[in-house]
Amino acid sequence: MPVTGKGDREPADILVKLYDLPPSDLSRTDAAGITIRRALGPERHIVTAWIGEHFEAGWVSEAERAFASGPITCFIAVQGQEMHGFACWDAASLGIWGPTGVSVEMRGKGVGAALLLATLPAMREQDYAYAVIGGAGPIEFYQRFVGGIVIPGSWPGFYRGMLGWAEASE
């Protein structure tokens, strides 16, 4: 499920050309001792519990779908035994990147960008030419890091009419 937009602007879907990604620079997270990697099947309960504790229940459902994929379409940011973020794709719908989230204490430290720059090439390796970042709130973030292009009129998109979410029905 998408995040809410920044300010008065509503979220939008963003198109990313996977064949034209910038080089991945994980130096900030590497320097902080944070590892970005694909989640392992036996970590499903830990990852989904962490998501449920820090974010909304709908994101737990999407992450569970990412764990049901082969290969798993969820990457995590870890420091030792502590999780600090996650990013999934093919979780809400095929070709959709997200959900993604970073712990409050790690925001602004490059973890979100590192997750983005690690997962999009993984989508490309699965033969996707494009990714759609579904219901993106921080639009400028995606434009700056991966040249994301806003898809006009894309909100609420495929979320329209979704059970348990009033905004999607409006």
Q: pLDDT digit string (tens) for 120-144?
A: 999 999 999 999 999 998 899 999 9
Q: How far apart are CA 160 and CA 89, in angstroms?
A: 19
Q: How far apart are CA 36 and CA 135, in angstroms?
A: 23
Higher pLDDT, 157 or 66: 66
The SS3 of residue 140 is helix
Please, which pLDDT band fits residue 160 given cuts at 50, 70 and 90? confident
Q: How far apart are CA 10 and CA 91, in angstroms?
A: 21
Higher pLDDT, 10 or 165: 10
Q: What share of the chain is helix, strand, coil (3-state, %, to 5)?
A: 40, 25, 35
Q: How far apart are CA 118 and CA 55, in angstroms?
A: 21
How far CA 67 is from CA of 60, 70, 72, 90, 133, in Å, comes to 11, 8, 5, 10, 19
pLDDT digits (tens, 9 = 90+) for 94-122: 999 999 999 999 999 999 999 999 999 99
Please count the other Cβ atoms lying within 10 Å of the Cβ belonging to residue 164. 10
Q: Find the mean pLDDT for residues 146-152.
A: 96
Instruction: Give pLDDT, residue 5.
Output: 40
Angle among Cα 93, 82, 54 to the nearest 5 degrees reads 50
Cα 101 from chain centroid (whole Å): 7
112, two tokens: 């979100």
Assess whether pLDDT exceeds 90 at residue 162. Answer: no
Q: Domains, the chain, ranges and CATH?
A: 12-169 (3.40.630.30)
Assess whether pLDDT exceeds 80 at residue 2. Answer: no
Q: Find the mean pLDDT for residues 59-85.
A: 97
Assess whether pLDDT exceeds 50 at residue 21. Answer: yes
β partners of residue 88: 74
